[in-house]
Amino acid sequence: MLPRQGQSSGRFWISAVAALLTIALPAKSVVFLSTDDPDFNTTPPTGDLRDSGWQWQGNWRGFGGTVIAPNLFLTAQHVGGAVGDVFVFDGRPYPTLASFADPQSDLMIWKVCGEFPLSAPLYEGSTEVGAACVVFGHGLRRGEAVTVAGGVNPGLRGWRWGANDGRLRWGENTIAGVETGSRGGEQLKALFDQGAGPNEAMLAGGDSGSGLFLREGGQWKLAGVNFAVDGPFRQVGSSEAFSAALFDKRRLLEFGANSRWTLVPDDDVPVPAAFYATRVSARLAWIRSVIAAESARETPPVVEAAALPEGPFIELAPVVADGAERLLIVPLPSANQYFRLRHCRAVTIISIDLVPGAIELRWE
C-alpha cells in the first residue's frame, strides 16, 4: 500500500511490504549501532525478553498475525485476505475457514483449519502508558538517510523505507500515550526516540497485523496489533512525498489530519515520529466473544453435488449445517445426484438419511 492510502489523522497504514527498523544513536548521531546488519534481531529475544511474543507470531500473506486460541489468530483488517488463504505458523500452513471483523476497530480474527500448539495471552490492564514493549514485524530494511540542510538544527533525521527481505524482526519501545483514530479504535502510541537503547524500533510498510507485547503479572501478553505510522513527509522546497522512520521530524513537511502539508518547527527539542497499534485491552469483550464462540466449534464441510459420479461437482446451496452435531441438511433433489464433501481435512460421510423434503448427511 502506498503512503497516504487509508490515511487518518496524519498517519497511514503500514501494509506495504513488511518491515521493522531497529537502530541506536550515539551522542553525535553519525555512527549507528547494529543497523546495517541484516541478521540483527532476527532470532527470538533472550534474557529478560525471552518469550516476549516471537513464539506466537505467524505470517499472514506477507504480513503478521498472532495466535490467540487453538484455531484463531488476530491481525489487522486493512491487510486484507480471503477465506482459503494460508496462515503460516512455525513453518506449517493453516488454511483459513472464516473471518470475524471488529466493527469498532481495525482488528480481524481469522479461523483456521487445524490446531495451534500454543496461543498468546491477552493484556487485560489499562496502564500501558509508560510501559516497555516488544514489537514484531516482517521485512523492510533501512533505506537511504534523510537529512536536513540549513535551519537551526541541520543533519540526519532518520531513514527512508528500504528493501524488503521478508524476515521476522523484533525491537523495543515505550508506550507514550493512547489515542483514538477514525478507524482504528483506541491506539497505543510509541515514539522513535533518539535517546533510547540499541533495540529502539520504528515500524515501516508491511508491519501491519504483527503483535506488540507488554509484561503483565510477570508474563508477556498481547497488548496491540500494528496499525499505522506518522507521515508521509516532504523536504522543504520539494514536491516528492516519501515514507520514513524518523527520530526527528524538525524542518520537514508532514501530511497532517487537515489534509495539508505542515512544516514541523525547527525548535530546540527533537520531534520523533510515532507508530500506532490497535489497543487490545479496549476490545477484550469482542475478542473473547469470538474465542468463546469459535475456538471449540468445527466449521462444517461444504456440500458439493453432481449428476454424474465423475462430476463436475458444484457447491450446493442452501444447506443447513450444524457443526456441533456434524449434521448437514440438504434439500431433496428433483433428480439423482451424487454428493461429496469439501473440507480442509479428510472427512467421511457416515450416514445418509431421508427426511421430509431433505437429506441428512452426517460426517466425521
- For position 245, which CATH number holds? 2.40.10.120
pLDDT of residue 36: 56
The last residue of one of the domains, among 294, 321, 341, is 294
Burial of 332 (0-12, 13-18, 19+ CB in 10 A): exposed
Does residue 316 belong to any structural domain of this protein? Answer: yes
Report whether 304 contacts 342 (CB < 8 A). yes
Q: Which three cell numbers stand for residue 95?
A: 488454511
Report whether 322 contacts 280 (CB < 8 A). no
CA–CA dist 174, 193 (Å, integer): 9
Residue 127 shares a structural domain with residue 187: yes
Does residue 45 belong to any structural domain of this protein? Answer: yes
Does residue 216 belong to any structural domain of this protein? Answer: yes
The last residue of one of the domains, among 294, 317, 348, is 294
Q: What are phi and psi of 294, to 5 degrees?
A: -115, -20
Peptide bond into 265 cis (omega under 30): no
CA–CA dist 233, 220 (Å, integer): 34
pLDDT in tens, 133-190: 999 998 677 889 999 998 899 999 999 988 888 889 999 999 999 998 766 689 999 9
Residues 299, 300, 302, 305, Cα dihedral to 10°: 180
Does residue 6 belong to any structural domain of this protein? Answer: no
Residue 316 shares a structural domain with residue 220: no
pLDDT of residue 266: 94
Residue 100 shares a structural domain with residue 213: yes
Cβ-proximal residues to 258 (8 Å cutoff; 6+ apart), any chain: none
What residues in the chain have per-residue pLDDT under 50?
1-8, 16-34
pLDDT of residue 143: 86
Residue 280 shares a structural domain with residue 204: yes
CA–CA dist 364, 346 (Å, integer): 9
CA–CA dist 31, 53 (Å, integer): 30
The last residue of one of the domains, among 262, 294, 326, is 294
Q: What are phi and psi of 125, to 5 degrees?
A: -80, -175
pLDDT of residue 125: 95
Does residue 35 belong to any structural domain of this protein? Answer: yes
CA–CA dist 287, 220 (Å, integer): 18
Residue 284 shares a structural domain with residue 311: no
Residue 79 shares a structural domain with residue 131: yes
- Rounded to a whole number of angstroms, the CA Rg of the chain reads 24
Q: What are phi and psi of 172, to 5 degrees?
A: -120, 160
Residue 61 shares a structural domain with residue 205: yes
Residue 141 shares a structural domain with residue 282: yes
- Three-state SS annotation for the chain: CCCCCCCECCEEECCCCCEEEECCCCCCCCCCCCCCCCCCCCCCCCHHHCCCCHHHEEEECCEEEEEEECCEEEEEHHHCCCCCCEEEECCEEEEEEEEEECCCCCEEEEEECCCCCCCCCECCCCCCCCCEEEEEEECECEEEEEEECCCCCCEEEEEEECCCCCCEEEEEEEEEEEEEECCCEEEEEEECCCCCCCCEEEECCCCCCCEEEEEECCEEEEEEEEEEEECCEEECCCCCCECEEECCCCCEEEECCCCCEEECCCCCCCCCCEEEEEECHHHHHHHHHHHHHHCCCCCCCEEEEECCCCCCCEECCCCEEECCCCEEEEECCCCCCEEEEECCCCCCEEEEEEECCEEEEEEC
Domain containing 338 equals: 302-363
pLDDT of residue 184: 65
Q: How many domains is the chain partitioned into structurally?
A: 2
Does residue 225 belong to any structural domain of this protein? Answer: yes
pLDDT of residue 66: 98
Residue 34 shares a structural domain with residue 81: yes
Does residue 169 belong to any structural domain of this protein? Answer: yes
Per-chain mean pLDDT for the chain: 86
Residue 288 shares a structural domain with residue 334: no
CA–CA dist 43, 41 (Å, integer): 6
pLDDT of residue 26: 26
| Predicted TM-score of the model (pTM) | 0.83
Residue 140 shares a structural domain with residue 265: yes
Residue 104 shares a structural domain with residue 244: yes
Does residue 141 belong to any structural domain of this protein? Answer: yes
